[in-house]
Amino acid sequence: MLLAQEWFNRFFSWLSLHDPTMKAAFIGAFVALVGFFIQDFLARKNERAKQIEVEQSKMKYLHFLITDSYKAIESFDSTATNVVRSFQENPFVLPGFGLYPAHSINAIANKINQEEYFLASVSQMKNYKLVEIFLIYNTMNEGYKRITEHFVSEAPKFIQAKDQYLNLIEELRSASNAYLQSTVGRQLDEREKIALSKIRELSVNLQNYHNASPPLQVWLYESNQIFVQPTFNIVREHGNQHHQELFNISVRATIQHSKVVDHMRNIVSAVDNNRKEMNSQIAYIRELTKPLNKYIYDLHIEKLEPNQN
Protein backbone atom coordinates (compact mmCIF):
# COMPACT_ATOMS: atom_id res chain seq x y z
CA MET A 1 0.00 0.00 0.00
CA LEU A 2 2.83 2.40 0.92
CA LEU A 3 4.69 1.52 -2.28
CA ALA A 4 1.60 2.28 -4.37
CA GLN A 5 1.08 5.61 -2.60
CA GLU A 6 4.73 6.51 -3.10
CA TRP A 7 4.45 5.60 -6.79
CA PHE A 8 1.37 7.84 -7.23
CA ASN A 9 3.13 10.72 -5.45
CA ARG A 10 6.16 10.44 -7.73
CA PHE A 11 3.90 10.15 -10.79
CA PHE A 12 1.95 13.33 -9.99
CA SER A 13 5.17 15.15 -8.96
CA TRP A 14 6.57 14.25 -12.37
CA LEU A 15 3.38 15.50 -14.04
CA SER A 16 3.65 18.84 -12.22
CA LEU A 17 6.90 19.53 -14.11
CA HIS A 18 5.16 19.41 -17.50
CA ASP A 19 2.67 21.62 -19.28
CA PRO A 20 -1.12 21.15 -18.75
CA THR A 21 -1.71 19.57 -22.17
CA MET A 22 0.77 16.81 -21.53
CA LYS A 23 -0.66 16.38 -18.05
CA ALA A 24 -4.16 15.91 -19.42
CA ALA A 25 -2.93 13.36 -21.96
CA PHE A 26 -1.07 11.37 -19.36
CA ILE A 27 -3.97 11.47 -16.92
CA GLY A 28 -6.41 10.39 -19.63
CA ALA A 29 -4.18 7.48 -20.62
CA PHE A 30 -3.69 6.50 -17.00
CA VAL A 31 -7.42 6.55 -16.24
CA ALA A 32 -8.14 4.50 -19.36
CA LEU A 33 -5.50 1.95 -18.35
CA VAL A 34 -6.88 1.70 -14.83
CA GLY A 35 -10.41 1.35 -16.23
CA PHE A 36 -9.26 -1.45 -18.55
CA PHE A 37 -7.73 -3.41 -15.67
CA ILE A 38 -10.81 -2.92 -13.52
CA GLN A 39 -13.13 -4.07 -16.31
CA ASP A 40 -10.89 -7.07 -17.04
CA PHE A 41 -10.87 -7.97 -13.34
CA LEU A 42 -14.65 -7.71 -13.08
CA ALA A 43 -15.12 -9.69 -16.31
CA ARG A 44 -12.87 -12.46 -15.04
CA LYS A 45 -14.66 -12.47 -11.70
CA ASN A 46 -18.04 -12.66 -13.42
CA GLU A 47 -16.83 -15.43 -15.73
CA ARG A 48 -15.54 -17.44 -12.76
CA ALA A 49 -18.86 -16.99 -10.95
CA LYS A 50 -20.71 -18.34 -13.98
CA GLN A 51 -18.26 -21.24 -14.24
CA ILE A 52 -18.83 -22.10 -10.58
CA GLU A 53 -22.57 -22.01 -11.15
CA VAL A 54 -22.25 -24.35 -14.14
CA GLU A 55 -20.03 -26.74 -12.18
CA GLN A 56 -22.46 -26.77 -9.28
CA SER A 57 -25.31 -27.53 -11.67
CA LYS A 58 -23.34 -30.46 -13.09
CA MET A 59 -22.74 -31.85 -9.62
CA LYS A 60 -26.43 -31.48 -8.72
CA TYR A 61 -27.53 -33.25 -11.91
CA LEU A 62 -25.01 -36.04 -11.42
CA HIS A 63 -26.21 -36.49 -7.86
CA PHE A 64 -29.78 -36.77 -9.13
CA LEU A 65 -28.81 -39.37 -11.75
CA ILE A 66 -26.90 -41.47 -9.22
CA THR A 67 -29.77 -41.32 -6.73
CA ASP A 68 -32.24 -42.32 -9.44
CA SER A 69 -30.01 -45.18 -10.54
CA TYR A 70 -30.45 -46.75 -7.10
CA LYS A 71 -34.16 -47.20 -7.91
CA ALA A 72 -33.27 -49.08 -11.11
CA ILE A 73 -30.90 -51.40 -9.25
CA GLU A 74 -33.43 -51.98 -6.45
CA SER A 75 -36.05 -52.81 -9.09
CA PHE A 76 -33.66 -55.23 -10.79
CA ASP A 77 -32.81 -56.85 -7.46
CA SER A 78 -36.49 -57.36 -6.65
CA THR A 79 -37.30 -58.71 -10.12
CA ALA A 80 -34.30 -61.04 -10.16
CA THR A 81 -35.21 -62.36 -6.70
CA ASN A 82 -38.74 -63.10 -7.94
CA VAL A 83 -37.30 -64.87 -11.00
CA VAL A 84 -35.21 -67.14 -8.75
CA ARG A 85 -38.15 -67.82 -6.44
CA SER A 86 -40.42 -68.61 -9.39
CA PHE A 87 -37.88 -71.09 -10.77
CA GLN A 88 -37.60 -72.85 -7.43
CA GLU A 89 -41.38 -73.19 -7.22
CA ASN A 90 -42.01 -74.16 -10.85
CA PRO A 91 -39.39 -73.94 -13.63
CA PHE A 92 -42.15 -74.15 -16.25
CA VAL A 93 -43.42 -70.68 -15.35
CA LEU A 94 -41.95 -67.73 -17.24
CA PRO A 95 -41.88 -64.92 -14.65
CA GLY A 96 -42.43 -61.29 -15.52
CA PHE A 97 -39.38 -59.12 -16.08
CA GLY A 98 -40.74 -55.61 -15.64
CA LEU A 99 -38.02 -53.21 -14.54
CA TYR A 100 -37.71 -49.59 -13.45
CA PRO A 101 -36.35 -47.75 -16.51
CA ALA A 102 -32.57 -47.53 -16.34
CA HIS A 103 -32.46 -44.09 -18.01
CA SER A 104 -30.22 -42.67 -15.29
CA ILE A 105 -27.63 -45.44 -15.65
CA ASN A 106 -27.59 -45.00 -19.41
CA ALA A 107 -27.37 -41.21 -19.04
CA ILE A 108 -24.27 -41.45 -16.85
CA ALA A 109 -22.67 -44.00 -19.16
CA ASN A 110 -23.56 -42.52 -22.55
CA LYS A 111 -25.23 -39.10 -22.50
CA ILE A 112 -23.35 -36.78 -20.16
CA ASN A 113 -19.83 -35.60 -21.00
CA GLN A 114 -17.90 -37.57 -18.39
CA GLU A 115 -14.73 -35.50 -18.85
CA GLU A 116 -16.57 -32.24 -18.14
CA TYR A 117 -18.23 -33.70 -15.06
CA PHE A 118 -14.92 -35.07 -13.83
CA LEU A 119 -13.22 -31.66 -14.21
CA ALA A 120 -16.15 -30.01 -12.45
CA SER A 121 -15.81 -32.44 -9.54
CA VAL A 122 -12.10 -31.75 -9.25
CA SER A 123 -12.74 -28.00 -9.31
CA GLN A 124 -15.62 -28.08 -6.83
CA MET A 125 -14.66 -30.91 -4.48
CA LYS A 126 -10.97 -31.56 -5.18
CA ASN A 127 -12.07 -35.17 -5.62
CA TYR A 128 -10.81 -37.64 -8.24
CA LYS A 129 -13.13 -40.56 -7.37
CA LEU A 130 -15.54 -39.71 -10.18
CA VAL A 131 -13.37 -41.61 -12.65
CA GLU A 132 -14.04 -44.86 -10.78
CA ILE A 133 -17.74 -44.09 -10.57
CA PHE A 134 -17.96 -43.53 -14.33
CA LEU A 135 -16.11 -46.78 -15.04
CA ILE A 136 -18.52 -48.72 -12.83
CA TYR A 137 -21.56 -47.14 -14.46
CA ASN A 138 -20.19 -47.89 -17.92
CA THR A 139 -19.85 -51.55 -16.93
CA MET A 140 -23.19 -51.60 -15.14
CA ASN A 141 -25.01 -50.11 -18.11
CA GLU A 142 -23.64 -52.78 -20.42
CA GLY A 143 -24.56 -55.51 -17.94
CA TYR A 144 -28.06 -54.14 -17.42
CA LYS A 145 -28.63 -53.90 -21.16
CA ARG A 146 -27.10 -57.32 -21.84
CA ILE A 147 -29.12 -59.25 -19.25
CA THR A 148 -32.37 -57.56 -20.28
CA GLU A 149 -31.75 -58.42 -23.93
CA HIS A 150 -30.74 -61.94 -22.90
CA PHE A 151 -34.01 -62.49 -21.03
CA VAL A 152 -36.09 -61.09 -23.89
CA SER A 153 -34.28 -63.21 -26.50
CA GLU A 154 -34.37 -66.42 -24.43
CA ALA A 155 -38.04 -66.16 -23.45
CA PRO A 156 -39.37 -67.25 -26.88
CA LYS A 157 -36.92 -70.16 -26.94
CA PHE A 158 -38.15 -71.27 -23.52
CA ILE A 159 -41.78 -71.05 -24.65
CA GLN A 160 -40.96 -73.07 -27.77
CA ALA A 161 -39.21 -75.77 -25.72
CA LYS A 162 -42.18 -75.91 -23.34
CA ASP A 163 -44.62 -76.22 -26.25
CA GLN A 164 -42.57 -79.09 -27.65
CA TYR A 165 -42.77 -80.85 -24.29
CA LEU A 166 -46.53 -80.29 -24.16
CA ASN A 167 -46.83 -81.88 -27.62
CA LEU A 168 -44.87 -84.90 -26.42
CA ILE A 169 -47.16 -85.25 -23.39
CA GLU A 170 -50.21 -85.24 -25.63
CA GLU A 171 -48.47 -87.69 -27.94
CA LEU A 172 -47.70 -90.00 -25.01
CA ARG A 173 -51.30 -89.83 -23.75
CA SER A 174 -52.58 -90.66 -27.22
CA ALA A 175 -50.11 -93.55 -27.56
CA SER A 176 -51.07 -94.84 -24.13
CA ASN A 177 -54.79 -94.83 -25.01
CA ALA A 178 -54.02 -96.49 -28.35
CA TYR A 179 -52.09 -99.25 -26.59
CA LEU A 180 -54.96 -99.90 -24.19
CA GLN A 181 -57.30 -100.24 -27.18
CA SER A 182 -54.86 -102.56 -28.96
CA THR A 183 -54.96 -105.11 -26.13
CA VAL A 184 -58.69 -105.78 -26.53
CA GLY A 185 -59.15 -109.35 -27.81
CA ARG A 186 -55.39 -109.98 -28.02
CA GLN A 187 -53.68 -112.85 -26.16
CA LEU A 188 -51.32 -111.41 -23.53
CA ASP A 189 -48.51 -113.10 -21.65
CA GLU A 190 -48.08 -112.62 -17.91
CA ARG A 191 -45.46 -109.91 -18.39
CA GLU A 192 -47.70 -107.84 -20.62
CA LYS A 193 -50.70 -108.39 -18.35
CA ILE A 194 -48.74 -106.68 -15.55
CA ALA A 195 -47.81 -103.83 -17.90
CA LEU A 196 -51.41 -103.47 -19.04
CA SER A 197 -52.71 -103.36 -15.47
CA LYS A 198 -50.22 -100.68 -14.46
CA ILE A 199 -50.78 -98.58 -17.58
CA ARG A 200 -54.56 -98.76 -17.11
CA GLU A 201 -54.16 -97.71 -13.46
CA LEU A 202 -51.87 -94.87 -14.51
CA SER A 203 -54.42 -93.77 -17.09
CA VAL A 204 -57.18 -93.65 -14.45
CA ASN A 205 -54.98 -91.69 -12.05
CA LEU A 206 -54.07 -89.29 -14.83
CA GLN A 207 -57.72 -88.72 -15.68
CA ASN A 208 -58.55 -88.07 -12.04
CA TYR A 209 -55.70 -85.55 -11.91
CA HIS A 210 -57.08 -83.76 -14.98
CA ASN A 211 -60.56 -83.71 -13.50
CA ALA A 212 -59.08 -81.66 -10.65
CA SER A 213 -58.19 -79.04 -13.33
CA PRO A 214 -54.68 -78.03 -12.21
CA PRO A 215 -53.17 -74.97 -13.95
CA LEU A 216 -51.35 -75.86 -17.15
CA GLN A 217 -47.95 -74.72 -15.81
CA VAL A 218 -48.41 -76.94 -12.74
CA TRP A 219 -49.48 -79.88 -14.88
CA LEU A 220 -46.48 -79.48 -17.18
CA TYR A 221 -44.03 -79.39 -14.28
CA GLU A 222 -45.59 -82.34 -12.44
CA SER A 223 -46.33 -84.41 -15.55
CA ASN A 224 -42.84 -85.82 -15.67
CA GLN A 225 -43.21 -87.32 -12.21
CA ILE A 226 -46.84 -88.42 -12.38
CA PHE A 227 -47.00 -89.60 -16.00
CA VAL A 228 -43.81 -89.65 -18.08
CA GLN A 229 -41.47 -91.41 -15.66
CA PRO A 230 -44.09 -93.95 -14.46
CA THR A 231 -44.82 -94.85 -18.09
CA PHE A 232 -41.12 -95.23 -18.81
CA ASN A 233 -40.59 -97.42 -15.73
CA ILE A 234 -43.58 -99.66 -16.51
CA VAL A 235 -42.45 -100.26 -20.09
CA ARG A 236 -38.83 -100.79 -19.12
CA GLU A 237 -39.70 -103.40 -16.47
CA HIS A 238 -42.67 -105.19 -18.05
CA GLY A 239 -42.90 -104.14 -21.66
CA ASN A 240 -42.41 -105.97 -24.96
CA GLN A 241 -42.42 -105.03 -28.64
CA HIS A 242 -45.97 -103.66 -28.31
CA HIS A 243 -44.69 -100.99 -25.94
CA GLN A 244 -41.89 -99.68 -28.16
CA GLU A 245 -43.74 -96.48 -29.10
CA LEU A 246 -44.56 -95.74 -25.47
CA PHE A 247 -40.92 -96.29 -24.57
CA ASN A 248 -39.61 -94.01 -27.35
CA ILE A 249 -42.03 -91.16 -26.58
CA SER A 250 -41.43 -91.34 -22.83
CA VAL A 251 -37.66 -91.12 -23.42
CA ARG A 252 -38.07 -88.10 -25.70
CA ALA A 253 -40.45 -86.46 -23.21
CA THR A 254 -37.99 -87.05 -20.35
CA ILE A 255 -35.19 -85.41 -22.33
CA GLN A 256 -37.42 -82.50 -23.36
CA HIS A 257 -38.55 -81.95 -19.77
CA SER A 258 -34.90 -81.66 -18.75
CA LYS A 259 -34.26 -79.24 -21.62
CA VAL A 260 -37.04 -76.94 -20.46
CA VAL A 261 -35.80 -76.95 -16.87
CA ASP A 262 -32.17 -76.46 -17.92
CA HIS A 263 -33.12 -73.63 -20.27
CA MET A 264 -34.92 -71.77 -17.51
CA ARG A 265 -32.11 -72.55 -15.08
CA ASN A 266 -29.62 -70.88 -17.45
CA ILE A 267 -31.85 -67.80 -17.71
CA VAL A 268 -32.27 -67.61 -13.94
CA SER A 269 -28.56 -68.15 -13.32
CA ALA A 270 -27.63 -65.30 -15.66
CA VAL A 271 -30.17 -62.97 -14.05
CA ASP A 272 -29.14 -63.86 -10.49
CA ASN A 273 -25.41 -63.53 -11.19
CA ASN A 274 -26.03 -60.12 -12.73
CA ARG A 275 -28.11 -59.14 -9.71
CA LYS A 276 -25.30 -60.02 -7.31
CA GLU A 277 -22.74 -58.16 -9.42
CA MET A 278 -24.89 -55.03 -9.64
CA ASN A 279 -25.59 -55.05 -5.90
CA SER A 280 -21.86 -55.22 -5.26
CA GLN A 281 -21.20 -52.39 -7.70
CA ILE A 282 -23.89 -50.13 -6.29
CA ALA A 283 -22.61 -50.73 -2.75
CA TYR A 284 -19.18 -49.51 -3.87
CA ILE A 285 -20.74 -46.51 -5.63
CA ARG A 286 -22.53 -45.53 -2.41
CA GLU A 287 -19.15 -45.48 -0.71
CA LEU A 288 -17.48 -43.48 -3.48
CA THR A 289 -20.25 -40.87 -3.61
CA LYS A 290 -20.06 -39.89 0.05
CA PRO A 291 -18.01 -36.75 -0.81
CA LEU A 292 -20.57 -35.81 -3.48
CA ASN A 293 -23.44 -36.31 -1.03
CA LYS A 294 -21.71 -34.03 1.49
CA TYR A 295 -21.04 -31.44 -1.22
CA ILE A 296 -24.74 -31.37 -2.24
CA TYR A 297 -25.80 -31.17 1.41
CA ASP A 298 -23.44 -28.25 2.05
CA LEU A 299 -24.78 -26.44 -1.04
CA HIS A 300 -28.31 -26.89 0.29
CA ILE A 301 -27.38 -25.55 3.74
CA GLU A 302 -25.50 -22.63 2.17
CA LYS A 303 -28.58 -21.73 0.17
CA LEU A 304 -30.81 -21.84 3.26
CA GLU A 305 -28.56 -19.81 5.55
CA PRO A 306 -29.27 -16.33 4.07
CA ASN A 307 -33.02 -16.94 4.47
CA GLN A 308 -32.58 -17.95 8.08
CA ASN A 309 -30.77 -14.75 9.10
Q: DSSP letter string over 291-303?
A: HHHHHHHHHHHHH
The pLDDT of residue 47 is: 62
Which positions ≥6 away from 293 have C-beta within 8 Å? 63
Q: How far apart are CA 44 and CA 220, in angstroms?
A: 75
Closest by Cα among 61, 99, 48, 90 to 278? 99
Please count the residues of the chain.
309
Averaged pLDDT of the chain: 85
User: In the chain, what is the straight-line distance between the N-terminal and C-terminal CA atoms, in Å?
Assistant: 35
Contact status, residue 185 vs residue 221, Cβ threshold 8 Å: no
**Residue-level pLDDT at 2:** 46
Check residue 14 and give its pLDDT.
Answer: 52
* Backbone phi, psi, residue 189, to 5°: -85, 175
What pLDDT, on a 0 to 100 scale, did the predictor assign at position 53? 86
* pLDDT on residue 49: 64
Q: What is the pLDDT of residue 13?
A: 61
The DSSP-derived string for the chain is -HHHHHHHHHHHHHHHTS-HHHHHHHHHHHHHHHHHHHHHHHHHHHHHHHHHHHHHHHHHHHHHHHHHHHHHHHHHHHHHHHHHHHHHH-TT----------HHHHIIIIIS-HHHHHHHHHHHH---THHHHHHHHHHHHHHHHHHHHHHHHHHHHHHHHHHHHHHHHHHHHHHHHHHHHHTTT----HHHHHHHHHHHHHHHHHHHHHHT---HHHHHHHHIIIIIHHHHHHHHHH--GGGHHHHHHHHHHHHHHHHHHHHHHHHHHHHHHHHHHHHHHHHHHHHHTHHHHHHHHHHHHHHHHHHH-
- In one letter, which amino acid is 125? M
Where the chain has pLDDT below 70, the residues are 1-49, 303-309
Q: Which pLDDT score, from 0 to 100, does residue 165 have?
A: 95
Q: Indicate the residue type of 249.
A: I
- Report if pTM > 0.85: no
